[in-house]
Amino acid sequence: MYVPSGQPTLGSVIGVNGLTLVENPEYASTMSSVQPTAGDPGPTPFRLAHISDPHLTSLHRVHWRELLNKRLLGYASWRLRRRAVHRPEILNALQRALVECRPDHIAVTGDLTHLGTPAECLEARQWLEQLGPPAYITVIPGNHDRYAPSEWSETLALWLPYMQGDDPPGPEYGRFPFPTLRKRGPVALVGLSTARPTAPFLATGKVGYAQLEQLERLLDSTAAEDLFRIVLMHHSPLAAGVSRRRRLDDTARLVSVLKQHGTELVLHGHGHRPVTGALQTDTSVIPVFGVPSASSSDPSPEKRAGYNIYEIAASNMGWTLRVLEQRWDPARACFVPHAQHSLLIPAPRASPHNERHAAAGAG
């Protein structure tokens, strides 16, 4: 378990179960598209699956003209290392695992491709269609998906049905739909894009003022609706433990917005390893979870493929959150339970949520 140094951990700040190892039951090995469960989850927890950085595409047929920029370096990296690390058989096993556990929704926090070429974006779109329908899967892009400047209509626009919010963006958004908002059961999924082309050897990201302004509005409106707000982003909002080469350039501004307007959970990818951390606010903490690459065959246990399941339920104090970490087991060639965390997350103080939940005895 990787915890960035200098950041408060959930266990130390909230004083709840930090880490509990659980049994390792086997998954069934059926292979079909994941389908959403019907209707309101009611008193049962809302279950969100979080996967990231599948880097699922192949560059075997990339045209040399597409490599006349930063992509040449990325292509060399893929030839030398990445194509051996990111394995389709692991993604197939992941899909089987998701079919078996049937989450209520799936979040994909970026880096579906290696270089973000049109052919890769098309391949990723086809993979998403295999995984499930657009209303069931929320996607945000990663830095590899915007590796170099490219034609929007030929690349990320192919993922729009999986990226855009419930309300189609108006003309003022242009072709860029972020931040996005999707409401599913008790949950508000707020998607940010931190992906933008960078100079060679840099994998940094940025949210930008335009998204931050909209983010404030979305966090306020969804708090007023008593929704459990989850911010999805590719880069980590935690400053500690992230190198300058891979950091989010406007971390401080983003964190200020998250603390001021509140959010119940932040999910990210990019690091290709598990992260359990928190953003400390004046009165509470905001849990932050990062997941490993969904397709990694890296021999290091910390960088081995994994995904998380978040079980979210209302309680008389606010919300309960159970996090189930799943890891790739190369010996058994399947994903197995690895660890779990149980958290109590208070509802925003300014909201009538607490009183209503206490009166109803929700939970």
Binding site for Fe ion (CB under 5 A): 53, 111, 142-143, 270
Nearest distance from residue 203's CB to Fe ion, in Å? 6
Number of Cβ atoms within 10 Å of the Cβ of 102: 12
Q: Do 302 and 327 touch, CB atoms closer than 8 A?
A: no
Mapped onto helix, strand or coil, the DSSP state of residue 169 is: coil
Residue 85 CA to residue 330 CA, distance in Å, equals: 13
Nearest distance from residue 150's CB to Fe ion, in Å? 16
| Closer Cβ to Fe ion, 245 or 349, answer by number | 245
Nearest distance from residue 31's CB to Fe ion, in Å? 25
Residue 265 CA to residue 283 CA, distance in Å, equals: 15
Nearest distance from residue 55's CB to Fe ion, in Å? 6
Residue 205 CA to residue 103 CA, distance in Å, equals: 29
Over its C-alpha atoms, the chain yields an Rg (Å, rounded) of 19
| Separation of CA 290 from chain center | 7
| Closer Cβ to Fe ion, 141 or 348, answer by number | 141
- What residue has token string 């998906």? 145
| Closer Cβ to Fe ion, 229 or 270, answer by number | 270
Mind giving me the DSSP string for 41-74?
A: -TTSPEEEEEE--------TT--GGGGSSTHHHH
| Closer Cβ to Fe ion, 7 or 296, answer by number | 296
Report the residue number whose CB is nearest to Fe ion: 111
Nearest distance from residue 171's CB to Fe ion, in Å? 30
| Closer Cβ to Fe ion, 53 or 264, answer by number | 53
Q: What is the token pair recorded at 43?
A: 């008193």
Nearest distance from residue 160's CB to Fe ion, in Å? 20
| Closer Cβ to Fe ion, 99 or 124, answer by number | 124
Amino acid present at 338: H
